[in-house]
Structure 1
């Protein structure tokens, strides 16, 4: 699982840096919140999860139901936030419309974080 998180994290980093380079080249920084979410939630948090899997969680943690749910909650929540923020800041969708959807994806991302915390508690109690 640490490899999955490392690879997806660096995938987010590439997308985030491309968006940052586009904003710099166009002198249009309206997507700064989207860029920040890609880099922090997508890249940084994914790499932190990879480190947690590598250092503190048993090797089979990613194969458990909780491990799979945690991974997919993080991916679904992050992707939903990124697409939703991009849609809102590009003017494709008004904030009043996309706001509740962003709330749902934020909650899904939060559930992924809580699941990681539960897995870490279980793993550190067992060792």
Structure 2
């Protein structure tokens, strides 16, 4: 799962950077909110989830981990496309509001599932102090 999250995170980073470069070149910063969400919800959160999988989740249930992954990526995509359409003036807030709400709630549910996987006994590795930490104590 960590590699999947890393690949998606880097894709979001490339999209966010490209959008930032476009805004700078065009002197039109109307997509600033979209740009920030692509980088935070897409890149940063996906990267953090990948790090959590790599460092702390030993044996998450495959179905739960996959559900969390798909939920986060689908909800992030819905949210980001909705923001792009909204701030691009392609649709009204009244039209996109339900879509943005679904995307936002989906991202939150993905976070709650990740939290569950981290705190669920037997899923996350216990953080062991290093030998230097033990000697200092």
Tell me the TM-score normalized by structure 2: 0.87
> What's the C-alpha RMSD, in Å, of the aligned pairs?
1.2
Deviation of the 1:94 alpha carbon:
0.3
Match of 2:101 in 1: 103
Larger-gyration structure (1/2): 2
Deviation of the 1:100 alpha carbon:
1.6
Runs of 5+ consecutive residues of structure 1 not aligned to the other structure: none
Tell me the TM-score normalized by structure 1: 0.93
More helix by share: 1
Task: Work out the number of aligned pairs and report it.
Answer: 124
Match of 2:129 in 1: none
Match status 1:8 vs 2:1: no
Match status 1:24 vs 2:16: no
Deviation of the 1:64 alpha carbon:
1.4
Runs of 5+ consecutive residues of structure 2 not aligned to the other structure: 127-137
SS of aligned partner of 2:89: coil
Match status 1:120 vs 2:118: yes
Runs of 4+ in 1 over 2 A off after TM superposition: none
SS of aligned partner of 1:71: helix
SS of aligned partner of 1:92: coil
